[in-house]
Amino acid sequence: MSSAAGLPRAADLGLLSCLACGLVCRALPATAAPHCPRCHAPLHRRKPASLSRSWALLIAAAVLYIPANLLPIMQTSTLLYSENDTILSGVLTLWRSGAWDLALIVFVASIVVPLLKIAALATLLLSAGAHSRWRRRERARLYRLIEFIGQWSMLDIFVVALLVALVNFNSVAQVRAGPGAIAFASVVVLTMLASMSFDPRLIWDEPQTGSRA
């Protein structure tokens, strides 16, 4: 992108932008902890400790991803049978019942998206930590994609909560939520927090400019 190469960046011009309200201020070297004059939010050149915070949250999410997929997220019991559903077996049940389109949606939202988020965030964190110049525009786009799709992984949590409320016919048929639901919900929240902690401006920082997180 030769046209973008010459564009000035706030950090180089001695400017600070407020992430909360968008106001652009001049960075005064005298003030140790500057605050936005309009909204009083603390101003930082880059989000503080962005990489280490993001790594910590991401690793926690990756660890919980295992019980989230192995433990049952819901238990269905009827007069004839009782079965424990993990996320994957729930998708398979949907598929076999003929609702392949919904099976696909749940598969993408519950299995592909969390995995993709963890892998993509790890890539972003590694490459930003190394001040890599590799495919910056694509990495910037990847980050925006992660931010956009993050909340859709909550889908299965809502499905389980509704099924538990509705399928409640005592001995005839009953659905209960399982411990996997807690692990899965934690994964969704942790990956969202991890992507919020990451500062996408680090993608564009050269080694000498921009404070390391």
Partner 1 sequence: MPTLIVCEHCDTVYQRAPLQPGQRARCLRCAAPLYRADLAPPALLALTLAAAVVFLIANVFPIVSLDLQGSSSQSTLWGAIHAAWDSEVGPVAVLVALTAFFFPLLQILLLGAVLLALRRGGLRRSLLVDALHSLRFLRPWSMVEVFLLGALVAVVKMGALAAVQPRPGLYGFAALTLLLTALNSFDLHRLWECLDE
Residues in contact with Zn ion by CB under 5 A are 18, 20-21, 23, 36, 38-39, 41
- Name residues contacting partner 1, limited to 184-203 (CB under 8 A): 185-186, 189, 192, 196, 200-201, 203
Q: Which residue has the tokens 């919900």?
A: 185
Give the residue, chosen from 137, 145, 211, 212, that forms a contact with partner 1 under the rule CB under 8 A: 137
Q: At which residue do the structure tokens 């993408």 appear?
A: 108
Contact of 55 with 184, CB cutoff 8 Å: no
CA–CA dist 93, 102 (Å, integer): 11
Cα distance between residue 193 and residue 176, in whole Å: 28
Min separation Cβ 41 and Zn ion, Å: 5
What residues between 156 and 185 interact with partner 1 by CB under 8 A? Answer: 156-169, 172-173, 176-179, 181-182, 185
Q: What residue 11 binds from partner 1, Zn ion, none (CB within 5 to 8 A, per partner kind)?
A: partner 1
Rounded Cα distance between 174 and 79, Å, is 9
Distance CA 57, CA 26 (A): 32
**Minimum separation from the CB atom of position 16 to Zn ion (A):** 10
Query: Which residues, numbered 28-87, are part of the site for partner 1 (CB under 8 A)?
Result: 38-41, 78
What is the total count of residues that contact partner 1 (CB under 8 A)? 76
